[in-house]
């Protein structure tokens, strides 16, 4: 670990020197690249400097403790301070150990999220809409930007399907824990007898794929256009602005119809298609390595039931870590940090154990 820490400190100092070099000012691309890398390692560099300072103070106190010339009072003060510094040293070492874990290269990427109604009919579609609002509000709290790529609404305001992007640094690193089946248990508004129903919605979180990461051949695509339609099947427009793209080798089909422009719908559909194809590639690679999932928590299969929202008991339970939280209205208002941070910590523990 010490060699890694020295290398990171050296890299940070070299970047700082280059950024202060007048010759670098004229190269905007280099400035941006260096600035981005410095930002990536600034937190770990700060902890390295903090650890070095603690170790230096402990060494100085050790000299006092072992000195025959110093009086007992000073020796006691030095011993008391070293007890505190020892705890601080242990804390920083543990944090640095976490920082040095192999990073998921997708963690800093923007994401595409897909929410689909599952079992439960209209109630499932309404729950899908609530999940969409929850993630939109959480994105807003993080300063991220959300944009709908495609949606299929029902007349009472729910979603059979909604596909949207969230743009913001670190979006995938936090949101990847949301992939899987979300289950809701409550009395639907349409239920006259007051019986509790169980419905499900499926959430998929995909890191956004750049064009350079994945080359898609035009000959592998079939592009169809059709008229957009809204809730109840009413025509949104009479021009064929909606786009359906079929990737022939994989038979993946992506449709986008939310924009009035056919070109914009095509661009959005291609964005979703690239991300889905990238996910397929990563799943294939993981399978070949004999590791279908990165951990028990990290990127769960979309068919796995991960969470239950129990309204009668005001309890949200994450089944992967067997932990529950109360205050469903607050969490659905975008206050997801406590859940996501807990999942992230558990994921880190598993990786450290490995």
What is the rounded CA–CA span in Å between residue 275 and residue 165?
Answer: 11
Do residues 199 and 334 share a domain?
yes
Do residues 194 and 318 share a domain?
yes
The predicted pLDDT at position 295 comes to: 45
CATH at 306? 3.30.70.1660
- Cβ-contact 334, 134 below 8 angstroms: yes
Do residues 64 and 95 share a domain?
yes
Closest Cα to residue 218, out of 246, 239, 195? Answer: 246
Do residues 123 and 264 share a domain?
yes
Do residues 91 and 121 share a domain?
no
| Last residue within a domain, chosen from 66, 99, 132 | 99
Whether 7 is covered by a domain: the verdict is yes
Provide the edge-to-edge strand list for the sheet that holds 242-247. Answer: 221-226, 242-247, 252-256
- Cβ-contact 318, 345 below 8 angstroms: no
The predicted pLDDT at position 77 comes to: 93
The predicted pLDDT at position 8 comes to: 92
Do residues 243 and 160 share a domain?
yes
The predicted pLDDT at position 304 comes to: 76
Whether 248 is covered by a domain: the verdict is yes
Strand, helix or coil for residue 63: helix
Structural domain of 272: 111-290+297-353
The total number of structural domains in the chain stands at 2
Whether 217 is covered by a domain: the verdict is yes
Do residues 60 and 194 share a domain?
no
The predicted pLDDT at position 299 comes to: 47
| Last residue within a domain, chosen from 99, 120, 151 | 99
The residues that bridge with 167 in the sheet, in sequence order, are 145
Do residues 152 and 240 share a domain?
yes
State how far the alpha carbon of 85 is from the alpha carbons of 47, 82, 129, 313, in Å. 14, 5, 50, 45
The predicted pLDDT at position 285 comes to: 66
| Last residue within a domain, chosen from 99, 128, 163 | 99
Whether 104 is covered by a domain: the verdict is no
Do residues 216 and 260 share a domain?
yes
* Packing angle, helices 72-99 and 337-353, rounded to 10: 90
Do residues 42 and 136 share a domain?
no
pLDDT along the chain (354 residues), means of 10: 88 93 89 90 93 95 88 89 95 88 84 92 93 97 92 87 92 93 88 84 89 76 78 51 87 83 85 85 66 46 81 95 95 96 90 76
The predicted pLDDT at position 308 comes to: 96
Do residues 46 and 12 share a domain?
yes
Do residues 192 and 284 share a domain?
yes
Whether 105 is covered by a domain: the verdict is no
State how far the alpha carbon of 257 is from the alpha carbons of 148, 224, 238, in Å. 10, 12, 12
Whether 252 is covered by a domain: the verdict is yes
The residues that bridge with 243 in the sheet, in sequence order, are 225, 256
pTM for this one? 0.70
Whether 106 is covered by a domain: the verdict is no
The predicted pLDDT at position 235 comes to: 46
Whether 197 is covered by a domain: the verdict is yes
Contacts of 81 (CB under 8 A, 6+ apart): 57, 61
Cα Rg of the chain (Å, integer): 26
């Amino acid at each position: 670990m010490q060699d890694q820490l020295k290398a990171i400190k050296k890299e940070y100092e070299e970047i700082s020197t280059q950024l202060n070099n007048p010759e670098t000012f004229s190269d905007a691309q280099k400035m941006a690249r260096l600035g981005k890398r410095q930002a990536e390692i600034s937190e770990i560099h700060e902890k390295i400097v903090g650890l070095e300072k603690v170790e230096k103070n402990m060494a100085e106190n050790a000299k006092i403790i072992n000195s025959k010339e110093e009086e007992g009072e000073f020796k006691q003060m030095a011993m008391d301070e070293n007890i505190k510094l020892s705890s601080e040293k242990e804390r920083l070492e543990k944090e640095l150990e976490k920082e040095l874990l192999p990073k998921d290269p997708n963690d800093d990427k923007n994401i595409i999220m897909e929410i689909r109604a599952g079992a439960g009919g209209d109630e499932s579609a309404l729950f899908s809409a609530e999940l969409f609002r929850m993630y939109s509000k959480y994105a807003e709290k993080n300063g991220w930007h959300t944009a709908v790529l495609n949606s299929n609404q029902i007349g009472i305001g729910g979603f059979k399907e909604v596909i949207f992007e969230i743009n913001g640094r670190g979006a995938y690193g936090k949101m990847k824990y949301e992939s899987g089946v979300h289950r809701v248990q409550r009395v639907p508004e349409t239920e006259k007898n007051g019986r509790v129903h169980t419905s499900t919605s499926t959430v998929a979180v995909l890191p956004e794929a750049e064009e350079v990461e994945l080359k898609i051949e035009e000959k592998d695509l079939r592009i169809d256009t059709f008229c957009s339609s809204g809730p109840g099947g009413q025509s949104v427009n009479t021009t064929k602005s909606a786009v359906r793209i079929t990737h022939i080798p994989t038979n993946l089909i992506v449709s986008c119809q939310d924009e009035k422009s056919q070109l914009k719908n095509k661009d959005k559909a291609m964005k979703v298609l690239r991300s889905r194809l990238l996910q397929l590639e990563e799943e294939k690679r993981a399978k070949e390595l004999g590791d279908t999932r990165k951990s028990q928590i990290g990127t769960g299969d979309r068919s796995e039931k991960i969470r239950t929202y129990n309204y009668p008991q005001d309890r949200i339970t994450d089944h992967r870590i067997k932990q529950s939280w109360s205050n469903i209205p607050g969490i659905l208002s975008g206050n997801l940090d406590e859940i996501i941070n807990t999942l992230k910590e558990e994921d880190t523990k598993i990786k450290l154990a490995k």
